[in-house]
């Protein structure tokens, strides 16, 4: 089945837009197929500001209005408590909001950008999507990440080579209570590293310190800039550690 086939059978859909490569291409493909699509983003404390900006930029580029739904995800104890099943409850809350909005606007189907490279296995987030009846056209049509990037580049989408970016909640070890302040510290720290020219990295919370995970080809530069990095990140963390294992 092709994406055109999917949207021919499902011509009226609500799409969860994250600002990443997959959902961006899916929005483009849906519009190109002539589907009536309602693009929506749920803004939580787990989503960095640049992701929302990218989603808005993409919608503007494609000539559609982006619906933004604000959600205080930390008000859900099962999410803020950060136990092993956090992702399940987070996805359930977010996509329940999207489903409610879709029904209110008269859109019968909710879709997301999960692709064929994503392992459905026992991922808790996938289970939540399945329970809510969310469909994943990229996955159903056999399009993996590399195919999505190739098609995105051909379509001229600025998101074609955007690195995958897991939500900010993944920066915290299981069992560490996630607070708005800690999330903001991580986001500010990562923004500081972006400004220094680093890319495709993670700043992880480790016993009050920042544990930096960088691609191998950026480790040497991090050592050279260690004083600058420490100066920028020290307002947010008790210490700054460099993880020598490639991210």
- Kindly report the CATH class assigned to 3-155: alpha beta
Sign of CA dihedral 134, 138, 140, 141: positive
Distance CA(144)–CA(114), nearest Å, equals: 9
Q: Where in the chain is the domain with CATH 3.30.300?
A: 179-243
pLDDT at res. 118 = 78
- Kindly report the CATH class assigned to 179-243: alpha beta
Name 41's bridge partners: 68
Interval 199-228: pLDDT, tens: 999 999 999 999 999 999 999 999 999 999
> Helix (H, G, I), strand (E, B), or coil: what is residue 18?
coil
Q: By C-alpha distance, which of 128, 86, 134, 80 is closest to 107?
A: 134
Q: What are the structure tokens assigned to 235, written together? A: 């307002």
In degrees and rounded to multiples of 5, residue 149 shows phi and psi of: -65, -45
Question: Does the pTM of the predicted model rise above 0.75?
Answer: yes
pLDDT at res. 165 = 86
Name 16's bridge partners: 40
DSSP assignment of 69-81 equals EE--GGGSHHHHT
Burial 156-186 (b: 16+ CB within 10 A, else e): ebebbebeebebbbebbeeeeebeeebbebb
Query: Helices 226-233 and 180-195 sit at what angle, rounded to 10 degrees?
Result: 150
DSSP assignment of 2-17 equals -HHHHHHH--EEEEE-
Residues in the chain: 247
pLDDT at res. 12 = 97
On whether the CB atoms of residues 67 and 39 are closer than 8 A, the answer is yes
**Residue ranges in the chain modelled with pLDDT below 50:** none
Q: Where in the chain is the domain with CATH 3.40.50.620?
A: 3-155
Interval 64-83: pLDDT, tens: 999 999 999 999 999 999 99
pLDDT at res. 246 = 64
Sheet holding 240-243: strands in order across? 202-206, 209-213, 240-243
On whether the CB atoms of residues 16 and 110 are closer than 8 A, the answer is yes
Q: What are the structure tokens assigned to 183, written together? A: 């999330």
């Amino acid at each position: 089945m092709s994406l055109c086939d999917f949207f021919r059978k499902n011509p009226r859909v609500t799409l969860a837009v994250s600002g990443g490569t997959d959902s961006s291409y899916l929005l483009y493909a849906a519009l190109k197929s002539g589907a009536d699509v309602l693009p929506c983003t749920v803004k939580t404390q787990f989503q960095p500001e640049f992701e929302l900006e990218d989603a808005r930029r993409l919608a503007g580029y494609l000539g559609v209005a982006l619906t933004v739904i604000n959600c205080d995800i930390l008000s859900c104890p099962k999410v803020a408590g950060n136990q092993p099943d956090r992702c399940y409850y987070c996805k359930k809350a977010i996509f329940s909001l999207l489903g409610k909005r879709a029904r209110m606007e008269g859109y019968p189907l909710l879709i997301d950008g999960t692709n064929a490279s994503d392992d459905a296995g026992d991922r808790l987030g996938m289970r939540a999507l399945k329970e809510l009846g969310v469909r994943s056209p990229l996955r159903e049509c056999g399009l993996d990440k590399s195919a999505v990037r190739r098609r995105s580049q051909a379509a001229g989408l600025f998101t074609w080579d955007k690195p995958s970016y897991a939500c900010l909640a993944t920066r915290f070890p299981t069992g560490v209570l996630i607070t708005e302040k800690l999330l903001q510290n991580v986001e500010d720290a990562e923004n500081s590293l972006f400004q220094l020219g680093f890319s495709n990295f993670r700043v992880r919370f480790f016993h009050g310190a920042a544990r930096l995970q960088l691609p191998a080809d950026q480790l040497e530069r991090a050592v050279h800039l260690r004083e600058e990095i420490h100066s920028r990140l020290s307002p947010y963390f008790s210490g700054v550690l460099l993880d020598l294992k490639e991210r």
